[in-house]
Amino acid sequence: MVATANDSGNVSTLGPPSGLDPNQVATHLCQLFLASHGIPIACWRGQTRIASSGFPSDITPDAFVLLPLRALERPFTTYSTHDDAMFGYVRSEALGLEFVIGPTFPLGRQGLVLEHFMNLVGIPVTRREEVAPLLARIPRYNFIRFSALVGFFHLLANNTSEDPITDITDLDAVNDVHREASRQQDSFSIEQSMLVRNDITRLVREGAVDEIWSGLGTQTYHDNLVNELSATMGNGNLRMAKDEFIVDATETFLHGAIPGGIGTKLGLQMLSAYVAKCEEANSEVEVVTLLNAMLMDVATIVNSVRTPSGISPEVHECIKIVVNNLANVPTIEELAHRIGCSTSFLTKHFKEETGLTINQYVRYRRMDEAKRLLHYTKYSLSEISALLGFSSQPYFANTFKRECGITPKQYRLAVRDTDEDEDI
């Protein structure tokens, strides 16, 4: 414990009020905090977890973030994981304890994203059916609101006066909390957004589908930087999110996808389609969902056109030409001439190396792009038919049904219905 002099000159001890055991104080504070805010909280003394509320005692997501939170060396702070779970940290000098608050999520969590978070923090598979509903019930908090809440808990946990209400509502202390929250937000906005944008662009350019799927930076950047800032701005939140989407999409295509090999023409067509889809969004959640879909979509295409092992330079060049000219694919003779080889060499090696003839590959790529256009744009069937080089709309519709098992119209209705279900 630490001894200090109060205003009257008497010496008071910084410790649990009324001589209570710190363990009892920690348990009481955790219970009160969960009851008041609905966010899990745990208390640590050194390497021992002495109290918690919100999860079963053997479920310890707080243990996963305790070391990185301590490493920040701040009396109170916040931390976001790659899955965009936000945690808070409070050190109580008065009690000699540390509190970890969280997780909470800016947009809530369900389905696969919850699975990813539980993987990240090491929740056993056998317990996930029990833990998932607890995570799903945690209230949403934006970044500044959560940082302020963590700051106020810091005031509470370090309050040693005989009149705790007066101390906790002291204006100077409150202003300090808000300044610290703003400072952390500014630091996050400038540094994290640049780092994550660079990471995303690099991963897209490399076609790193698995790394993007694992959530490296994507959720953290968009939810915390876009949604959290817009949540503090009053009206116009959706417009701000859309504007940020357009910035991200442009960066993704111009510095990631197009240099990654998908070609300028296809890249700009896809960028236009995604921006149009974004403008149709009715909520920030839809914008975030579209951003994630776009990143996976684009990285998958880049991955498919990058030179895989066992693919010769001639076959790879043929693939690139096809992908960049789906509306007017050159003949096999023209392809061979542009690549600098004979038609027999090209057709033989293309089939051996890809398992498809050139015509089969063209059909596959056209159907793949047709699905994207049906999903993410309002282009009519005749417009899609023309964009993909089909001689007529009926021919396109018949080819699509033969290859995909349903008509283009049925496919469009099916994917739109799926999107609406995910938004509920």
Average pLDDT over residues 261-276: 81
Most confident stretch, 85-94, 155-164, 234-243, 283-292: 85-94
- Written as one letter, the residue type at 312 is S
Q: How sure is the predictor about 234, in pLDDT bands with cuts at 50, 70 and 90?
A: very low
Residue 220's pLDDT is 46
Cα 177–Cα 179–Cα 180 angle in degrees, nearest 5:
65
Residue 368's pLDDT is 85
DSSP tag of 7 = T
Residue 424's pLDDT is 42
Q: How sure is the predictor about 176, in pLDDT bands with cuts at 50, 70 and 90?
A: low
- Among 64, 69, 33, 65, smallest CA distance to 51 is for 33
Instruction: Tell me if 124 sits within 8 A of 58, measured CB to CB.
Output: no
Q: How sure is the predictor about 365, in pLDDT bands with cuts at 50, 70 and 90?
A: confident
CA–centroid distance for 30 within its chain: 29
Higher-pLDDT residue of 244 and 222 is: 244
pTM over cut 0.85: no
Average pLDDT over residues 307-334: 84
Residue 72's pLDDT is 82
- Among 323, 296, 320, 200, smallest CA distance to 256 is for 200
Determine which of 11-20, 87-96, 173-182, 311-320 has the lowest per-residue pLDDT on average: 11-20
Most confident stretch, 188-192, 246-250, 306-310: 246-250
Higher-pLDDT residue of 88 and 4 is: 88
Q: How sure is the predictor about 187, in pLDDT bands with cuts at 50, 70 and 90?
A: very low
Average pLDDT over residues 299-306: 77
Average pLDDT over residues 217-229: 43
Residue 289's pLDDT is 76
> What confidence tens digit (pLDDT) does each residue in 330-348 have?
999 999 999 999 999 999 9
Q: How sure is the predictor about 48, in pLDDT bands with cuts at 50, 70 and 90?
A: very high
Residue 2's pLDDT is 31
If you compute the radius of gyration of the chain from its CA atoms, what whole number of angstroms results?
Answer: 28
| Cis preceding-peptide flag for 103 (omega within 30 of 0) | yes
Residue 164's pLDDT is 42
Does residue 374 carry a pLDDT above 80? yes
Does residue 236 carry a pLDDT above 50? no
Does residue 172 carry a pLDDT above 60? no
Long-range contacts of 184-187 (CB under 8 A, 24+ apart): 184/77, 184/78, 184/147, 185/143, 185/144, 185/147, 185/228, 185/229
Q: How sure is the predictor about 237, in pLDDT bands with cuts at 50, 70 and 90?
A: low
Residue 354's pLDDT is 86
